[in-house]
Structure 1
């Protein structure tokens, strides 16, 4: 299991392709806060719920100074179809080799229906404008996660 990031640690920089096939680099977003959320698979029920919650709360997150990035091990084409189908207007990034998920502690052992396997752990890391970890949440639930995150960040509904 990869090591989880503690508050105050430097957030590992990364460059990943978005659904449009363009590179997005975390360090290019310095000066603003970034919500980096990791989800297992586009277009699955839980991941759709979580992505639509981020979409529906995007304006208030942006007004509070947060940029949202969603990361999954899906290929760019699947992300593009997911973004189009669900009208997602924030970047979805492809981490097919799960190197970024590993660097963020969001890849490791999971259990499902009594089976143990390696996979993406639904997680959210908030990166401060200076590039350090302000908040790291692991094993989050898809339903209600964005509302809890807003409360934790002090963003009014």
Structure 2
């Protein structure tokens, strides 16, 4: 597992497939007026917590984009599962397939987890905000699915 990213670190660049099979890169096409990107890592599409979190991002997307942020969701799910998830939940931002979890590892979002007394390697629910220059401005690990988007909005001073 890679070390967790800290504020000021250079975010690893990546290119992953979105739900429609198109390549999406961190560096290419940083959206928004300030060119910042919110990358959130989630364990599995179409599970209750991940669906809640994705829908919270969808429902807050206008606030993020008007403040100059683009949102990218990243999971180890295959493209076909992400396509179904995107369609079913009417997601309006890219969700990306990181099947070999190389990007999650590079971002420190893959590592040891414990569940019901078992220890295993898996995706650690995390959110990283990267500015237009590629630097990490916020890194949050072990976030909760429910309430995380509202907390992120507060942390980025986007509350209305």
Do the structures match in fold with TM over 0.5? yes
Q: TM-score range by the shorter chain?
A: over 0.9
Deviations 1:60-113 (A, max 9, x none): 000000000000000000000000000001000000000000000000000001
Q: Provide the residue aligned with 1:46 in structure 2.
A: 49
Distance in 2 between the 1:74 and 1:18 partners?
11
Distance in 2 between the 1:14 and 1:127 partners?
13
1:5 and 2:8 are equivalent in the alignment:
no
Q: Provide the residue aligned with 2:27 in structure 1.
A: 27
Q: CA RMSD in A?
A: 0.8
SS in 2 for 1:141: coil
1:136 and 2:139 are equivalent in the alignment:
yes
Distance in 2 between the 1:148 and 1:100 partners?
24
When normalised by structure 1's length, the TM-score is 0.98
User: What are the residue-to-residue correspondences of 1:49-64 with 2, within 5 Å?
Assistant: 49-64=52-67
Distance in 2 between the 1:29 and 1:147 partners?
26
Q: Provide the residue aligned with 1:16 in structure 2.
A: 16
Aligned length: 157
Distance in 2 between the 1:67 and 1:125 partners?
12
Report deviation, 1:2. Answer: 2.4
Name structure 2 gaps, 5 residues minimum. Answer: none
Q: Provide the residue aligned with 1:65 in structure 2.
A: 68
Q: Provide the residue aligned with 1:153 in structure 2.
A: 156
When normalised by structure 2's length, the TM-score is 0.96
